[in-house]
Amino acid sequence: MRLVIQKGMIQRTLETLSFDNTYARLPQAFYARLNPTPFSAPPYLIHANQFAAELIDLDPEQSTRPEFAELFGGNALAPGMEPLAMLYSGHQFGVYVPQLGDGRAILLGEATNERGERWDLHLKGAGMTPFSRDGDGRAVLRSTIREYLCCAAMQGLGIPTTQALCIVGSDDKVYREQIETGAMLVRMAPSHVRFGSFEVLYYRKQYDHLKTLADYVIDQHFPHLRDVDEKYAQFFTEVVARTARLIAHWQAVGWAHGVMNTDNMSILGLTMDYGPYGFMDDYDAGFICNHSDYNGRYAFNQQPYIGLWNLSCLAQALLPLAEKTALKAGLETYQPLFDREYQKQMREKVGLADEQTGDAELIQDFLGLLQGSHADYTMVFRELSTLSTKKDAVHEKVREHFLNRERFDEWAVRYRDRLRREHSHDEERCDRMNRVNPKYVLRNYLAQIAIEKAQHKDFSEVDRLFTLLQTPFADQPGMESYALPPPNWGKHLAVSCSS
């Protein structure tokens, strides 16, 4: 789903952007007020997202002005901005950490568009905050490019996500495993409140503040619940539903988050905090994209369970506001909703127009064939649309991906029989399947190539990938190589939390 620029909208300049910060009206226990720390070297624009700019009515041409990099590189503030670092805690790899918070990000404020929609502008890499612990508060070019491009990729795939307005670079040096170039990214979302935002208030026994935060989130983002009975339990149930649908999207597209800590879980059911993520190349149900996840807690096939586990942590944090039985009932809606949504999306991926007995087994058997053959997840699902129901049709294009071709042939007979039972038409089904099976995803090796070029101040590949990922389901002339599986060097790139 590509963001569409609406002609005739108000086109604001940097000077006429409308800013506020409703989060700053909350008690000071929720945050620490401070300004971004500018880079010592002059900031410069690396890339700007015209579609995200349109969400706040900002004329995309404004990005060509030097003031754009100054404002979104931490060197200047606009009227109405009230910068602050948000406080939260969270369970990291299953262990509760009492205080986390924005250690390298600052909430600049909310930009309001002509439709009255509010968008948080969150500056990542903005310098040290009281929550930085031992960090330097900076982001590196490598990590900002990965987040920027993956926001675009998820938006193009129709998966709920934070947005990224721009990347601003600098020649300042930042120390990670090696010396790297610093950069800042402006992340956008209707809210940056996380599960951990509630957890920190619960564990500190600040129940009045907990109620204040819940009322604020409901008022801002769930206004239909303001006056309902048991509104906090109802609110939780809606968060459960959003989270279940989000993770079903991840599983269907073959994407792993890598660090599903509760502090990285959006209260709005958005994908956020892009670190060691990964789109699967060869299908592997146990795919671990995070080099730092030594025990595989956040492996691909664990994500649905971790989503439930994280929601149980949120439910516990809401106990002072809602009855335990009501929260438990909300939690129990997760698994059936996830299963329903995931199976629906997988049926669409294999081109089934309706639901019949045996579909789940048919799909699971196909995934087993992919696993046994180390077949490319994205490519095979895309090419499955070419398999015909005609009696004597050959299917070598799909068949060649499998090591045990006799087993695939047996599965293909079952698949064709299933398609015929619903009177499937090849051409129409192919069109439907190509609308849900992307041709292009942000493979790690593609992001790595863009990063390596950018480290030499060649940002052309960032722009090329950004454009490609806007329309991942469409055939794009001259871009066929971007749909291919990675070369050997790109199959097992190590991506860690510092990414």
Helix spans in 283-424 (H) = 303-317, 324-331, 334-349, 359-373, 377-383, 396-399, 405-421
In SS3 terms, 314-353 reads as HHHHCCCCCCHHHHHHHHCCHHHHHHHHHHHHHHHHCCCC
Q: Which of 102, 120, 263, 273 is catalytic?
A: 263
Q: How far is CA 336 from CA 240, 332, 340, 341, 363, in A?
A: 11, 8, 6, 9, 18
The phi, psi pair for 232, rounded to 5°, reads: -70, -40
Q: 3-class DSSP state for residue 102?
A: coil
Burial class (CB in 10 A: 0-12, 13-18, 19+), 474: middle
Burial class (CB in 10 A: 0-12, 13-18, 19+), 240: buried
Is 359 one of the annotated active-site residues of the chain?
no
DSSP single-letter state for residue 266: B
Beta-strand (E) ranges in 69-126? 84-86, 90-92, 95-97, 105-112, 118-124
Q: 3-class DSSP state for residue 180?
A: strand
- 209-237: b (≥16 Cβ within 10 Å) or e: bbebbbbbbbeebbeebeeeebbbbbbbb
8 A C-beta contact, residue 181 and residue 171: yes
250/270 Cα distance (integer angstroms): 11
* β-pair partners for 124: 105, 185
- Which residues have a catalytic role annotated? 263
